[in-house]
Structure 1
């Protein structure tokens, strides 16, 4: 699904845009344009039409200006994409602020759910490889907030980083099925349930339980329950709970003195 890569723009120019240390407005700059307005228009294009439709020309059309006028503010598509990413990362930082009265598990679960919701709002995020992330203020703020969810519970710094990376990676993989299901429904005009209802009777006749005993038994039970080939949301809920269970074992079994000692009552959900 990846079609673009973050971090492909000029580093100095990307960082200047991300941190707004310099907004390139020359003598011919338009008073009705700004980096923020261009970025917002670009996000709207990607949300509505997909990342493949994103171009400097398409953004200019949405704004009703000439393409060349954008380059006064944004050097190119690579830098624009980095700022788009950082901007949408900022949408959930405030919403996921950790609750001091909640335990680490509740805070980390909230982080996961906010990330899930962000992907559903902006499905094009799944098409951008971010192994070289845009190092902007919103991404750093999100990372800070995620780390606060597991701060002070007995993990080392590297373990804290590994935990938030694990949760983020799980959400990224789990939400892909939900996004693809929504896109398939929009493209075909059939919901997952309608597609399953049309195909299930034929599968039931063709599937030989003597040849595929487990697939027949488990697949039948799942199909009857989901009324679809799968249930991305249920898979997300199940997987998130199991990941949090595993992290809880790590925290609970942390020996005293390793990484700050075992979780205190204030930092535990138990």
Structure 2
């Protein structure tokens, strides 16, 4: 199991597994099945959430399900297909309440927040969820339909709506990847961002020449004081989401 992005599996097999097509998912030759495909997917999800995507191996999944390693291949052909099943399962479980707000900005904020919550809870998703090749299963399609509906009434055409949603989700994914990197740095160094800034800021103040780096010294100090760190995930989220929505507002206003 080496592939680590969605959409890398053999298409017909992957779609058959995602949609549960009985004519295409007949048991393959091998040990008699003593578990279910759902158990294999749930085992893989728990391993990824607990220990990261690298922990999702044939042996580890088999041990968690309680089957032999070889029997895992009677449920899924390989890791590419398993990754698609994992991602689709998480998307299927996302809440999809009816859109009631008349404000498109409020609706798109809710879309962004829901995706941020998903990527925060399942950090490994930022490593595998390719916007260009999503697993086209029931979970992904239900999520896509729900999020497209958030653009109803904006006046955007079909292609623009798809592009606008991709733009929004791209910001969320990029932000969450940066937030995970920051969290990893904290874990690896056993030092919080605030502690890192408190230790380094006085050194920088003495070492950097304000005449040579006037903006870096002034603006860096102001930002560090405001956030208590060199970078704040929450501040970056609020600023970035607002600017992303502002950009979409220009498109939607023009369409109106």
> Same fold, TM exceeding 0.5?
yes
Question: Aligned partners of 2:188, 2:46: CA distance in 1, in Å?
Answer: 20
Select 1:44's aligned residue among 28, 43, 46: 46
Q: Specify the alignment match of 2:157 in structure 1.
A: 156
Where do 5+ consecutive residues of structure 2 fail to align? none
Q: Give the equivalent residue in structure 2 for 1:104.
A: 104
Shift of 1:148: 0.2
| Alignment match of 2:75 (pick from 73, 76, 97) | 73
What is the root-mean-square deviation in Å for CA atoms of aligned residues?
Answer: 1.8
| Residue 57 (structure 1) aligned with residue 62 (structure 2) | no
Deviation string for 1:143-200 (max 9, x for gaps)? 1111100023211111101110110001111111211122222222211111211221
Query: For 2:237 and 2:247, how far apart are their aligned partners in 1?
Result: 15
Q: Tell me how far apart the structure 2 counterparts of residues 29 and 234 of structure 1 sit (CA, whole Å).
A: 53
Shift in Å, 1:208: 1.1
CA change 1:157–1:73 in 2 (3 A) is same
Structure with higher helix content = 2
Q: Is this contact kept in 2: 1:24–1:72, CA < 8 A?
A: no
| 8 Å contact from structure 2 (residues 208, 217) kept in 1 | yes
Q: Check conservation: 2:154, 2:252, Cα contact below 8 A.
A: yes
Give 1:129 deviation, angstroms.
5.5
Instruction: Within 5 Å, give how 1:196-207 maps onto structure 2.
Output: 196-207=197-208
CA apart distance, 1:28: 4.3
CA contact (8 A) 1:60 1:70 kept: yes
Question: What's the counterpart of residue 13 of structure 2?
Answer: 13
Residue 266 of structure 1 corresponds to: none
Q: What TM-score do you get using the length of structure 1 for normalisation?
A: 0.87
Q: Which moved more, 1:219-228 or 1:178-187?
A: 178-187
2:116 matches 1:116: yes
Match of 1:248 in 2: 249
In the alignment of these two chains, the number of paired residues is: 250
SS at 1:71 equivalent: helix
Unaligned stretches of 5+ in structure 1?
Answer: 255-261, 263-270
